[in-house]
Amino acid sequence: MILHVGEQTLDLSHPVVMTIVNVTPDSFYAESRTPDEAQIRHRIAEAVEQGASILDVGGYSSRPGAEDVPPEEEIARIDRALRIIRHDWPQIPVSLDTFRSETVREIVRRHGPCIVNDITGGDADAEMFSTAATLALPFIAMHMRGKPDTMQSLTHYNDLCAEILDDLRLKRDRLYQSGVREVILDPGFGFAKTTEQNYELLAGLHRLGELGCPILAGISRKSMIYKILESSPAESLNGTTALHWECLRQGAVILRVHDTRPAVEVIRLFETFRKNNPIR
């Protein structure tokens, strides 16, 4: 699949890395926070140099217990990063990590087309799908339940993978019906899922291939890793890399990460392995 972001294109026939740029003071992994322009520029320069294919810019932390951020502050934070990206690295596609159509419209007005990366899959804002369609933007729809402050109380499933598949199928269909042409699906590791359920989801990730859309996996440094290892987000890079291989084996084509070079390297190794040993 060729992803179109305005005049930019991105070939998803091979896996790529989406690097997280958190323009926030409170994201769960402290080292990923870039609240000022010097830190933003350093992080972006490092990500691009190390092989990032997409920069995922967010101004609203979705960690449980995070404070609400008014739309104008979220827009100001994202704008700070986009001004730098568009000036110094105009060739790299950007995704907007937001669930607000107002934010999408204003950032696109100022900086041109981006990918929409909505953790609620359009559930939080009734105008999100139509906004993406009108602006001809690709859309990443994620599975979750509730809101960041309630999602971990909503983890009962009769059949986890089947229910996630059904939810994402519905979101995909609604997006297509709204006029969005390019849809990416994210099963939402860590969102309304227990640690054990995250591993059940990982084992069934390949099932999302039935929906015919590229799959994004966002597991970087999450609690499903550091709780098992009895460590912390800061100590979870090795575990992240190990699980990235399995995400690729299960069909993910976008790895959303904090650490660019390790993810690029695991993709390179996986592609070499797959070339010589086709996965059935």
The 3-class secondary structure across 183-245, one letter per residue, is EEEECCCCCCCCHHHHHHHHHCHHHHHHHCCCEEECCCCCHHHHCCCCCCHHHCHHHHHHHHH
**CA separation for the pair 97, 103 (Å, rounded):** 10
Active site residue 275: no
Which amino acid makes up residue 34? Answer: T
What is d(CA 93, CA 100) in angstroms, rounded to the nearest whole number?
A: 20
Query: Which of 100, 221, 256, 275 is an active site residue?
Result: 256
Per the residue annotation, which of 145, 171, 172, 222 is the catalytic one? 222
Q: Which of 212, 213, 191, 187 is nearest to 202 (CA)?
A: 187
* Dist CA 120 CA 148 (whole Å): 10
Q: Does residue 222 have an active-site annotation?
A: yes
Q: Left (φ > 0), alpha (ψ -120 to 50) or beta: where does 251 sit?
A: left
Supply the residues annotated as catalytic: 222, 256
